[in-house]
């Protein structure tokens, strides 16, 4: 199996994760250099119904997911042999150690696009920086996450 | 209206916030010294269906909410006159500036209890520390949040 | 007095701050859009004498300083009248609320250049992102700081 | 060699680290459950000479050091055989991945006491929480640090 197929399979698997499915969040770019995840506005994601803005937890979820995806892309990129069992084992170890979310603007928009890039790469720990914008390009949040990758 | 009634009203309002409602998270202690929020396990909150554990975004949501609640309790505690209009205005300014989440153990359990305490109090900014445990007392996550309060 | 003179005065004042002076750190660019501070390697700044690398606290100091400088530049930029007394009062309120430091590579080099940009601007709180590189352009650290500005 | 002797040696080694020596910071409790480091006020550590308070970088240095010390104590505690070469190798891998500092009160006092405890322990990564108080017991700062330990 080649890397493209693996990325496709992992991508489909993640869209089915219950809480991702609930938010309607899915991977739109899955590359070890940059990943992107997207979700659309839904009224059930509101955290402040006076101001009608996203719950901060939704924003944190999107940032954490985007960072995890880019960390996974790096695990896949760096694996020597494309053995699905070994890969599954490595991906099962993937976990967030800590996450910082910086809320910049109220979460308003029709669609929310979150990108992630690795800033520290290692065999055990990876650190990623994330950004969330809406469809107008307004910058809603920044994130920094530290992930266990091995 | 006295403070107890206000806390009750604000509490009920927050349980109806769509994303809180989706998680089934609600306030169980609302005091300026310590607040507590709780939610029960639901399959839709899963972030890793191989390991069957909560999504990290659910944990971040609970921590952010608990911190926001204790920040609100401090706004209510420090308000001089219990004027609902003035209070609503102040509460509408409440917002998370940044949030750090430290994931300690996999999110497993039947119920999740998150407590929050203010560590820095001011007229403009408050900082809170949060802890999430499950019903067995296992410590699942720590959080630190900085909130705009005025 | 014009803004250029004020920036020059504030810059000189900050270079004399005892702990900045001890590190030999000073402002090389002071603008509300981006600021830069620099310091040179000194053996006394070592935190690990086996590996001969900077102490993590030195890196955190440089990041915090750069972020504070860009927050100050924004206070100066946004002040309506250039009244030195009012400005001094505003600058005296400047303080770091929280700071996240991400250590990317060991702190080695001859000179360390730290830049900062505002990512959230407000009348009370500002959030800045910082980056530290050495003279070869190697990326040593990232930082995110939340500052009280009013 | 027994653990007590090792702790004593590591302690003495760390007091000689140039930047620790510059701050006059040293270990006063070195245990895998809790560590403590102390330093006294010195005029050269000032970051704001109008208000005469510690530089935020000094506070971050003390928090980072205390967290690193408790992470080291855990490496020593968990090592199976007390082989100095193996221990040195493990300790040389110790490094801060990220550090959050929460500044609670201005850094004033005669002596500053920083304690640290492990909140997440693992063979590769450890997370510690730190607190800095002055000699009157006033709480000056909180910290959370993620450390590479293997």
Indicate the residue of A16, A23, A60 with minimum beta-carbon distance to B60.
A60
The pLDDT tens digits for B102-148 are 999 999 999 999 999 999 998 899 999 999 999 999 999 999 999 99
Per-residue pLDDT band at B88 (split at 50, 70, 90): confident
Q: Does D117 contact chain B (CB < 8 Å)?
A: no
Which 54-93 residues of chain D touch chain B by CB within 8 A? none
Specify the pLDDT at position B7.
Answer: 87
User: Is pLDDT above 70 for A50?
Assistant: yes
Q: Tell me the CA distances in angstroms from C24 to B104, C15, C52, C117, one per residue in order.
A: 39, 8, 19, 22
Asked if A122 is an interface residue toward chain C (Cβ–Cβ < 8 A), one would say no
Task: Please report residues of B whose CB lies closer than 8 A to that of C121.
Answer: none
Quick one: pLDDT at residue A1?
Answer: 63
Q: How far apart are CA A136 and CA D67, in angstroms?
A: 42
How many angstroms separate the CA atoms of A44 and C77, rounded?
40
Residues D31/D34/D39/D40 CA torsion (nearest 10 deg):
-120
Q: D6 falls in which pLDDT band (50, 70, 90)?
A: confident
| Chain A contacts in chain B segment 38-57 (CB below 8 A) | 43-51, 54-57
Q: Which residues of B touch A95 (CB under 8 A)?
A: 103, 106
> Does residue D102 sit at the B interface (CB-CB below 8 Å)?
yes
Predicted pLDDT of residue B1:
62
CB contact under 8 A, B144 and D142: yes
Any D CB within 8 A of C95 CB: yes
For residue C150, what are its two tokens? 């009013």
Chain D hits for B104, CB-CB cut-off 8 Å, are 119-120, 127
Report the 3 state secondary structure along D44-76.
Answer: HHEEECCCCEECHHHHHHHHHHHHHHHHHHHHH
Enumerate residues 6+ apart whose C-beta is below 8 A from B46. A17, A18, A19, B52, B53, B54, B55
Distance CA B149, CA C17 (A): 32
Q: At B84, is the pLDDT very low, low, confident or very high (cuts 50, 70, 90)?
A: confident
Measuring CA to CA, which residue among A56, A126, D34 is closest to residue B100?
A56
Are C148 and B120 within 8 A, CB to CB? no
What confidence category does residue C90 fall into, taking pLDDT thresholds of 50, 70 and 90? Answer: confident
Positive or negative: CA dihedral D100, D104, D107, D110: negative
Which residue is closest to A16 within chain B, CA to CA?
A: B49
- Give chains near A: 3+ CB pairs under 8 A: B, C, D
Nearest CA in chain A to B22: A44
Neighbours of chain D (3+ CB pairs under 8 A): A, B, C
- Decide if C119 and A127 are in contact by the 8 Å CB cutoff: no
Give the integer Cα–Cα distance in Å for B81 and D65.
Answer: 46
Reply yes or no on whether the pLDDT at B98 is more than 70.
Answer: yes
| Spatial separation of the C-alpha atoms in residues B64 and A65, rounded to whole Å | 17
- Biggest CA–CA distance in chain C, Å, is 53
**Selected residue with higher pLDDT from A15 and C140:** C140
Instruction: Say whether residue C146 is in contact with chain B using an 8 A CB cutoff.
Output: yes
């Amino acid at each position: 199996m080649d890397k493209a197929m693996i990325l496709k399979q992992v991508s489909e698997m993640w869209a089915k994760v219950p809480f991702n499915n609930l938010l309607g969040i899915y991977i739109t770019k899955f590359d070890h250099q940059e990943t992107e995840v997207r979700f659309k506005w839904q009224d059930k994601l509101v955290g402040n119904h006076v101001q009608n803005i996203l719950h901060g937890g939704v924003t944190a979820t999107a940032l954490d997911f985007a960072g995890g995806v880019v960390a996974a892309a790096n695990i896949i990129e760096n694996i020597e042999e494309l053995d699905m069992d070994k890969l599954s084992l490595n991906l099962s170890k993937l976990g967030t150690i800590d996450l910082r979310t910086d809320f910049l603007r109220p979460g308003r928009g029709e669609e929310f696009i979150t990108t992630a890039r690795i800033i520290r790469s290692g065999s055990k720990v990876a650190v990623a920086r994330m950004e969330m914008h809406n469809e107008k390009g307004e910058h809603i949040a920044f994130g920094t996450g530290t992930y266990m990758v091995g």
